[in-house]
Amino acid sequence: MKYWSSSRRDFLKAIAGLALSGTSLARTSGPLQRPVLIVGGGLAGLAVLDALQAAGRPALLFEASARLGGRILTIRDGLEPGLRAEAGGEQIMRSHQRVHRLASDLRIPLADYPFLEGDLVFRHHSRMLRFRLPSDLPADLTDGLSPWEKTRWPHRLHLAYTENADPVADDDPRSALQWLRDLGLSRRGEAFVRAFATVDPEQTSAAHFQRIARREAAGGNSQVLAGGSDRLIEALAARHAQSIRRNTTIRSVVIGENTATLLDAAGVAHVADQVVLALPLGPLLQLDYRPGQPRWLARWGEARVVAHELKVHGQVDAREFAALGIRQHIMGFEFPRMTWLLPEHSANGKAVLNATAVHRQLALVKEARFRGVQDMDRLLRQRLPLLRTLEVTTRGEDWENNPLICGAYTYVPAGSRGSPPVLREGPLVLAGSDYSDYSGWMEGALQSAEVAVSEILRA
């Protein structure tokens, strides 16, 4: 197959020679205006589509899978009616203004998530330790913490350190761990930071870690989308059903001076003046770029590492859970890192408990997950002995081995100079939570969409 470059003559010639998708060209009342093409039907891609359509720009979105939403995945199968579990995007901080605005625009109410209330429980050497204040914890757990650290919640130590620290320069070569040590983090405190910070402090840069932690600390108690995060996706998809092509995997991007051509897995070519790539880093790097990878992509590739988080869920008796006086946070150095109860209850009093793993805790869960539901069930029962009624109903989504995602989120490694600022090269514009200031958050997907749309409209 021959690929073409930018000129209109070449473009027209190409139409004759290639199986162009019927929707790749849209006639408007004015001159020929090709739709902006969007690759990726996660929140970022859908938000770009929504904003472009609102601005009167035709746009067409391609999603590889039959399901839209990407890392927003609400699980309902196997659960009591009315219950759901979230395998990806879930909590919305009060400071996440864009998600709040979008939910209100789509008329989806938010439910409070009393994340920081109730007794906390720490799982240590197979013991379940209840506490409210760090000083309630037994000495063998707090030995080695500094006097200041002993006054902070151990699972929020990384946030406590970040609160009043001076800003770290983007080109500071230190890892987050080194920076925290320089701020006085004790060896014992390190164990807590490693277990509870979602980004690995050893791998990530101090500047990036500080940005993420500051955002998290400012978030306070969070909220969730009532009825499930996927309601956001469904509402956006319903608005733009005509402009969405599911089951369409984009494999190649042919970059011209003023146009780009996308080739899908069926060999159909789609031509546009502007293309938004709204993909996580893994799939973005896997695309076949011709004549070669855009320069900014090489820089993003170098500047990011992919991190993993896995959630599994158990259906529990909400009354039994309430009687324990625990709202959330059965914590541990190993799996589960944290648990929390989703706000919905079924008619017969069941609710869904989330259990999460990050970093070194992942291996155990992945192994059990691989062996099947029974092993997962056994693991969860063993780890949460306080609960008599525990029905394990999901094994969560293994984002790392999902070829359309390739990891839960990405971050900037130590030694890197931070995020490359360039989001556009020729006709290609980049979007997606991973390239925003809120990597790992739905807010980031919306922030990146905002930037991408203003790039498109400016051109």
Residues that bind ligand FAD (CB under 6 A): 39-45, 62-65, 70-72, 88-92, 249-250, 278-280, 283, 309, 311, 399, 404-405, 408-409, 432-433, 440-445
CB closer to ligand FAD out of 45 and 314: 45
Q: How far is the CB of 444 from ligand FAD (least distance, A)?
A: 5
CB of 145 or CB of 430, closer to ligand FAD: 430
3-state SS, the chain, equals: CCCCCCCHHHHHHHHHHCCECCCCCCCCCCCCCCCEEEECCCHHHHHHHHHHHHCCCCEEEECCCCCCCCCCCEECCCCCCCCCEECCCCCEECCCHHHHHHHHHCCCCEEEECCCCCEEEEEECCEEEEECCHHHCCHHHHCCCCCCHHHCCHHHHHHHHHHCCCCCCCCCCCEHHHHHHHCCCCHHHHHHHHHHCCCCCCCEEHHHHHHHHHHHHHHCCEEEECCCCHHHHHHHHHHCHHHEECCCCEEEEEECCCCEEEEECCCCEEEECCEEEECCHHHHHHCEEECCCCHHHHHHHHHCEEECEEEEEEEEEHHHHHHCCEEEEEEECCCCCEEEEEEEECCCCEEEEEEEEEHHHHHHHHHHHHHCHHHHHHHHHHHCCCCCCEEEEECCCCHHHCCCCCCCEEECECCCCCCCCCCEECCEEEECHHHCCCCCCHHHHHHHHHHHHHHHHHC
Q: Are 77 and 204 in contact (CB under 8 A)?
A: no
C-beta closer to ligand FAD: residue 88 or 189:
88
For ligand FAD, the closer CB: 62 or 153: 62
Nearest distance in Å: CB 440, ligand FAD:
5
Shortest Å, Cβ 357 to ligand FAD: 10
Judged by CB, which is closer to ligand FAD: 192, or 409?
Answer: 409
Residue with smaller CB distance to ligand FAD, 83 or 310: 310
User: Shortest distance, CB of residue 181 to ligand FAD, whole angstroms?
Assistant: 28
Q: Quick one: 174 or 211, whose CB is closer to ligand FAD? A: 211
Q: How far is the CB of 222 from ligand FAD (least distance, A)?
A: 8
For residue 384, give the nearest of 109, 17, 97, 121 by alpha carbon. Answer: 121
Task: Please say which residue, 41 or 420, places its beta carbon nearer to ligand FAD.
Answer: 41
Shortest Cβ 223–ligand FAD spacing (Å) = 10
Nearest-CB residue to ligand FAD?
Answer: 42
Peptide bond into 291 cis (omega under 30): yes
Point out which residues pair with 429 in neighbouring strands.
Answer: 276, 424
Q: Minimum distance from CB of 88 to ligand FAD (Å)?
A: 4
Q: In the complex, what is the shortest distance from the CB of residue 141 to ligand FAD, in angstroms, rounded to a whole number?
A: 27
Shortest distance in whole angstroms from residue 78 CB to ligand FAD: 19
- Measured from the CB atom, is 35 or 89 closer to ligand FAD? 89
Is the separation of the CB atoms in 438 and 411 below 8 Å? Answer: no
Q: Report the residue number, 249 or 389, with the smaller CB distance to ligand FAD.
A: 249
Smallest distance from ligand FAD to CB 94, Å: 12
